[in-house]
Structure 1
């Protein structure tokens, strides 16, 4: 199993947008944070490659000029595939794939719910009578993404929202956008680097089903073919 992780997350959208790059060491079951670079805002998410370069340099895992000593390299790149920011997911998945290919590391994608599930499951067990947990994250155009404890994923309009029956543990950076009947509000919002790396380990061990390290899009593509069709190929 991998011993060194590069973790990338540019999934948060809207006002919660941010970019996260971190390096972690694994010693048995324990993970230790070696370096972390995190910035808020859409530009930070789109510039995830710069955050990754800084995190690798701070960890001493970047190749130094004018030296013959090889630097340690991550043997696993774990990237959050969504749901979330359309541009942030494309940027982070592309950077993760390119770096993993360049250094020969494992490339593993994890969803935000998979990374937070152990913490939410533990929190859920402390409360009686709850129907389960829901992770609510920002989307576009007055909507949010909802992932549940059974693996369901949907995008819903805030204006048309009807709360499900029962009491729920509600988490996520957009949890306050929806109304619920007597919910238990969780402090969990976005996964940290260790939670993402642990989810990657569970996927590599076969405890999570396969998931490609590609953006997890909920909505169908908005691009449409022109009404008159495509132009003819140049002669």
Structure 2
């Protein structure tokens, strides 16, 4: 399982190997993580470390049965790198590839927390984007918003995520949930594989346009 989605000050990379547990859950076998933008971009190194710890992959008798990747929202480069790496591993191992969003990975815990508080409109997962902007994921979708332009939603909400404190939500219940764990990501991937979650392509979920722009004069003509 790969996650290169966290952006901004929370940028990091995560790779892990898990196996089914006797109680029907999942057991973490190996885990490799590093902080910083470079860690997300070089997630292949973390994946190789986790696979070596678990004794899986090329040169070993055990191959993954499923590759899971967090598709977003998050870092443009981190998503592109982790989704491409996940696709390569799935092809090499000859196994399914499943993508999940951060909100999908945390959804069961978020909904359980909402139920404990009662009378809430739902949950908002707020994660860092570029300066002055955040990603806001709800059960029905995700959007990128400028903090200066945010319009408060009616009702009381449970607000989670690594940038929860930056979003002005009146009367919010602040959750301690910030980023999904390897087990939460893998559990959501298994739910998608078995049809408990609606299908979703394992492709980067880009909800914010890239910072790079075409030159005003256009691209140079192709060489002859």
* Fold shared per TM-score above 0.5: yes
Q: What secondary structure is seen at the aligned counterpart in 2 of 1:108? A: strand
Backbone CA RMSD of aligned residues: 1.7
The 2-side partners of 1:83 and 1:47 are apart by: 18
Mark the structure with the bigger radius of gyration.
1
Per-residue deviation at 1:229?
6.1
Q: Does 1:24 align with 2:18?
A: yes
For residue 180 of structure 1, the aligned residue among 151, 169, 192 is 169
Structure 2: runs of 5 or more not aligned: none
1:117 matched residue in structure 2: 107
Q: Distance in 1 between matches of 2:25 and 2:96?
A: 19
Name which of 186, 201, 208 aligns with 1:212: 201
Distance 2:12 2:222 in 1: 42
Aligned equivalent of 2:28, options 26, 33, 37: 33
Deviation at 1:207, TM superposition (A): 1.8
Given the alignment of the two structures, is residue 159 of structure 1 paired with residue 148 of structure 2, yes or no? Answer: yes
Distance 1:39 1:20 in 2: 7
Question: What pairs with 1:5-24 in structure 2 (closer than 5 Å)?
Answer: 7-24=1-18
1:139 to 120, 129, 134: 129
Q: Deviations over 1:67-88 (max 9, x none)?
A: xxx4211111100000000110
Using structure 1 for the length normalisation, give the TM-score: 0.89
The DSSP-based 3-state class of the residue aligned with 1:20 is strand
1:224 partnered with 2:214: yes
| Structure 1 unaligned residues grouped into runs of 5+ | 1-6, 65-69
Partner residue of 2:52? 57
Tell me which stretches of 4 or more aligned residues in structure 1 moved more than 2 Å.
Answer: 219-230
The CA deviation string for residues 145-166 of structure 1, in whole angstroms up to 9 with x for no partner, is 10112x2211111122232121
